[in-house]
Amino acid sequence: EAGVAQSPRYKIIEKRQSVAFWCNPISGHATLYWYQQILGQGPKLLIQFQNNGVVDDSQLPKDRFSAERLKGVDSTLKIQPAKLEDSAVYLCASSYTRGTQYFGPGTRLTVL
């Protein structure tokens, strides 16, 4: 089966600009996650969706980050405006409700 798809793979922007990342989970997976991985650290959860509802966004900086999962399938994560400290890899993962998480390749964001 096809894995988790993410785009773009790389993005370079200036600080204060906006950026959006897209994720297409594995077909049938009800749960979708966005993680942020700063260089040298393990991934950290930003937001978790169960179908199209948010179940955990406690670590999402809501003043600048937003995410949506319309129709319970694809998801978009947006940063507006970006700061230098947002430079990281943004990982999308998905799973069945009771299942193992599978990760996409990630989007590497560089904020200059």
Partner 1 sequence: DAKTTQPPSMDCAEGRAANLPCNHSTISGNEYVYWYRQIHSQGPQYIIHGLKNNETNEMASLIITEDRKSSTLILPHATLRDTAVYYCIVRVGWDLVQGAQKLVFGQGTRLTINP
Round to whole Å and give the CA distance between 18 and 79. Answer: 6
Q: Minimum distance from CB of 44 to partner 1 (Å)?
A: 7
Q: Which of residues 80-99 bind partner 1 (CB under 8 A)?
A: 91, 93, 95-99
Which of 65, 86, 106, 109 touches partner 1 by CB under 8 A?
A: 106
Round to whole Å and give the CA distance between 81 and 26. Answer: 30
Which residues on adjacent β-strands are paired with residue 107?
Answer: 90
Q: Which of residues 25-64 bind partner 1 (CB under 8 A)?
A: 30-31, 33, 41-45, 48, 50, 55-56
Contact status: 12 vs partner 1 (CB under 8 A): no
Nearer of residues 4 and 82 to partner 1, judged by Cβ: 4
Round to whole Å and give the CA distance between 65 and 98. Answer: 27
- The residue with tokens 């785009």 is 7
Q: Half-sphere exposure (CA, 13 Å, Cβ side) for 8?
A: 9
Binding-site ranges for partner 1 (CB under 8 A): 4, 30-31, 33, 41-45, 48, 50, 55-56, 91, 93, 95-106
